[in-house]
A and B are shown apart, each in its own frame.
Chain A
Amino acid sequence: MSGLDELQNELAEALVEELLSPLGTGQSALWNLTGAVGSGKSTTLRLVETKLRESKSLIPIHLQAPGEVDSAPIAILSAATQLKAHQMLNGELERICDPRLTLAEKLTALGPTLEKHRNDVVLICDEPLYWQRKEWGDSQNLGRWLVREVPCRRLISGRLPTSDNPDRVARVKVGPADSVFARHAAPKQLTCALEQLIQSEPCTPGEFKLSLALTRYRSPQEVAEQLQPYISMGPLLDDFLQLLDRDPDGHTLRATLARLTQSRTPVCPIVFKQLLDKLNDFDQAIVEFSLCEALPTGFRLHPLVRQKVRERMTKAPWRLSPEELGNIHATLRQLFQQCPADDLLGQVESLHHELLSERSLPSKRPDRRIMFVEQLHAIGRTCSRLYRNHKRAAEIFDWAITISPQDSYGHHYLAFNLDWLAESPERVENHYQEAIKLRPSHPWGWSRWISYLATRGRFAEARENWGRALNALSISDTSPDWIFLSLHRWVARWLLHWGELDFAEAVLHAIPRRLRHGDTSLQALTNLLKALRVAEYEPGVFPLDIPHDRWWLPNGHTGLPLRWGESIRQRWQPARVESIDADSLTLVVAEWPEQPTDELVYHEREMTRTELQDAAHNFHWDEVHEGSFLELGYYGNEEALRIGLHRHKDGIPDLIPLTPPPDRWYKRSVNEASEDARP
């Protein structure tokens, strides 16, 4: 047994001993197992479960959801099936599997069983904080129920989903790095790196494994220097994934990780090996050893790895094609094809992969039971985000609200997907509004509805609904940041896109100053607003990818040298190409203000092609067009002029991209108008 094994075993035994202590009448007890991400909390919980089974004194009911939001119903189903296996649950199972019931109603069905068997069971919950979507679905009730209402013993890992204090806290300890090695015997491909990292600072198993993964890009010595007492798994993983983002040879590894994210349950060793078979030996070792967990039932990506890879999958270079997605789901579907009908969790996974592997929804909805609408939410989200098949996503969400008309999330995302397609405007509007009616406290519902109204040119209605949203959400300076980021940020973004500057300004100014100045995406919106304000009434010299608060940097933006020959640059002026033809151009040039708040003064300057080319520092005439941003640098006694050309970046820094596509309704009206115009 390694040093780490000993630590974890010791902790597990201590927890079991406490759990087995008798409870007083009416007493319940909540244990909280804390520790950094990757420190071994899940492993410790599994050890506790094993030891409890061996003791035969308490029945462990282990709730481990797939780690996605809206996983709470799966966790409850998992608890229910385990209770049924121990003959503790009978008729209640039907209620728990009834999709028309809310989660709160299902928890009510489970409660009496847990009360009845409060001295026989212990609920073991792995990171329930991550099972719930903020303020949208019923899932938020699960956290409160687990902490405050469940009458039996509970052992919860990670942060508690409420602010209550647990009865007991246990913390996973970290040991020296070599203690990790002894247990998790790394593949030979990583041995060399491992030997050099073995003397590092004490770290969690997750940190150590990721440091091995980082040797794909850095020397072990460099990686060892990176490991400090205060670094945690998150930054290390971010570092690794950012390197992989930019790696031109990383396609196969990215695709493999992306495919692995599509499995919500551990994958059996045979299929796991198949999924890795296109990787070279080193990358296989990284995936298996550093990025995945080996469980009794198979392999799965570490939940943090899975989460961060999934976040990337909507963008190149991580996107999988619909064919690749369909294939992986077809493969995963096969794993569950043989599961018996009473394996409810298996049935959930089987239907999930079946619907995601088919090219189109069957005209008749499958006979399989839907046990909770969140199953369809997960499928709809994948169709929308990864397959970009909004038609299919709309069908899925329509199915969800057919099953559960009170499903606010389903209404909203039905509207959203139809909105994306610019189809059925009446349905779009009805369902956006229904979602708000059912859940007026959720900012997303309001945000998308207001943005939709703005996109359709209904700015007066957008303003009206803005006022209603502020009331419904009881917005104040003390509202949580995520409310402002979900509502204000997105509404302002859309309004700026459509040039509604007064309204956008009011929205941005309603965000607390602390957040407005502290969040880079909000700063980007503020800069964009200021730049558009200038362009509204003035010549508008600076391009949008130079943030407003960086306009007047002493060194400019085009790389004009400080020295040219023997002369030093005295000053520079920003200029915009107002018009250009084959032989000449006209610039609008701005004078430097004495103070940043001074009014700007502009003048026009005409130049011939020859004059411009002679002064060009880093470009050719052919690269200049109307709207180009130039800098005029004056050297020496200002006799010498050098001109720099600003080359645009990939986008405006920190500006959140817009979805759905802004022009979707406009294009639809273009098509309709074209039809109308045919004589």
Chain B
Amino acid sequence: MALRIPPDHWLVVDSFKCASKPAAQFLTQRYGGTVHTIVLTHPHADHYNGILELLQDNPTASIGCVHPNESSGPAAAFDPKSALKQRAKPTYDFIWNQCSGRRWSSFRHTERAIGEATLTSLHPPNPVAPADWQGDENTLSSAMTVHWQQVTLLLGADVPNTSWETIAEEVQNLQDHSLLKVPHHGSQASLHQTFLQGADTRCWIVTPFKAKQLPKPEGLGQCLEAVQEIHVTALPYRHNQEAVHARAQLANLPPRKGLARESILQTVEALNRHVVASFDPAGNAEFHFGPGSVTVERQRTPQR
């Protein structure tokens, strides 16, 4: 996710690569501005790929993260997916040692000023319980809020339900946000009452995770109980409406073309799969949707 914050600051949260470059680099090179802060929410391959390049290309940017513990990413010797996760280790080692002057630990309640906005970390708490270090890295991912004028953005990272419980104990009014980047790609295991209840006109955005086929219809359905519509930057499968921004209801989502081998991440086509939300100081939003993105609407109750 990339946030352009007045006057000309960029906040980049996590990274992926397309055409072998960090995706954020295409944006910052095209639109100018300074990458002020980079956040690495947790050590999963769909979040850290390209962070090293971003750090090296933006030597003044600060980097926020929580260093994972030893159990992170030890490869199952034979699983290629696990083998690829080894990339996390040199990334974190680099951050810890080569970026020591510009890194900050994104534990709960830490704040950073970025341009005219304030970034506040919601999770994980400090100290992290030893047992929590041993578990799923998602439970320690860095959820955050960004406050600017009347706008509040809630960035959910991949925080699961169990951790939202603890966040809710310390942070109130999470439901009062202008935009939610839905946690963990819209999985049901990450949707929590603490942010679900609220105005149904809020802007919610979901990014896909192809390997787990997220978001699934069940998760989208639960989101649509909270908001009228939800924007998905791309579905987790290839379909035949990728040339346009589609609007659909759950029952008639574009059908899949199968788990095609080709991944769009190999080309800059991946950048087309975007949702851009632009806010004025009062919190009014304008949207731009890239081809391949889908807005899923709540089913309308037929009127008599």
Contact = CB atoms under 8 A, between A and B. Distances in A.
A670 B70 contact: yes
State which size class the interface on B falls in. Answer: 35 or more
A673 B81 contact: no
Contacts of B212: 578-579
Given A535-B84, A648-B77, A676-B105, A601 B258 contact: yes
A674 B259 contact: no
Interface stretch (B34-42, B93-101, B146-154, B155-163): B93-101
B239 interface: no
Contacts of A454: 90
Interface in B67-110: 67-70, 74, 76-87, 89-98, 105, 107
A627 B126 contact: no
Contacts of A49: none
A603 B259 CA distance: 6
A336 to B, nearest CB: 46
B259 A648 contact: no
A425 B97 CA distance: 10
A543 B79 contact: yes
A665 B93 contact: yes
Contact of A540 (B76, B81, B89): B81
B81 A535 contact: yes
A666 B92 contact: yes
A367 interface: no
B5 interface: no
Contact of A457 (B52, B82, B265): B52
Given A425-B97, A455-B90, A537-B265, A674 B77 contact: no
A619 interface: no
A505 to B, nearest CB: 12
A679 B124 CA distance: 13
B90 A457 contact: yes
Contacts of A531: 80
A590 to B, nearest CB: 9
B90 to A, nearest CB: 3
Interface stretch (A21-29, A152-160, A275-283, A495-503): A495-503
B45 to A, nearest CB: 8
B259 A499 contact: no
Given A454-B90, A460-B56, A669-B92, A536 B213 contact: no
A499 B93 contact: no
A670 B83 contact: no
A545 interface: yes
Nearest to B49: A499
Interface in A525-541: 531-532, 534-540
Contacts of A543: 78-80
B114 to A, nearest CB: 22
A499 B87 contact: yes
State which size class the interface on A falls in. Answer: 35 or more
A666 B68 CA distance: 10
B263 A544 contact: no
Contacts of B93: 455-457, 665-666, 669
A677 B91 CA distance: 19
A588 B212 CA distance: 10
B128 interface: yes
B193 interface: no
Contacts, number: 141
A599 B79 contact: no
B170 interface: no
A604 B92 CA distance: 34
B261 interface: yes
A466 to B, nearest CB: 16
Interface in A605-664: 627, 629, 648, 651-652, 662-663
Contact of B98 (A458, A602, A604): A458
A672 interface: yes
A649 to B, nearest CB: 9
Interface in A190-210: none
A168 interface: no
A603 B52 CA distance: 34
A357 B40 CA distance: 49
A677 B128 contact: yes
A88 interface: no
A665 B69 CA distance: 13
A544 B77 contact: yes
A600 interface: yes
A601 B263 contact: no
A539 B98 contact: no
Given A499-B84, A677-B127, A677-B128, A627 B98 contact: no
B131 interface: no
A422 to B, nearest CB: 10
A509 interface: no
A459 interface: yes
Contacts of B86: 497-499, 662
B266 interface: yes
B20 A588 contact: no
Interface in B117-134: 126-128
Interface string A506-532: 000000000000000000000000011
A350 to B, nearest CB: 43
A652 to B, nearest CB: 7
A672 B96 contact: yes
A678 interface: yes
A457 B83 contact: no
20 contacts: A425-B97, A498-B87, A532-B84, A540-B81, A542-B80, A543-B79, A599-B262, A601-B258, A601-B261, A602-B258, A648-B77, A652-B78, A665-B93, A666-B93, A667-B70, A669-B67, A670-B67, A673-B96, A677-B66, A677-B126
Closest 6 CB pairs of A and B: A457-B94, A673-B67, A537-B263, A535-B80, A457-B90, A602-B259
Interface of A: 425, 454-460, 497-500, 502, 531-532, 534-540, 542-545, 578-579, 588, 599-604, 627, 629, 648, 651-652, 662-663, 665-667, 669-670, 672-674, 676-679
Given A458-B98, A498-B87, A579-B212, 20 more contacts: A498-B89, A499-B86, A499-B87, A535-B80, A536-B84, A540-B79, A544-B80, A578-B211, A599-B262, A602-B259, A604-B213, A648-B77, A662-B89, A663-B70, A666-B89, A670-B68, A673-B67, A676-B105, A677-B126, A679-B126
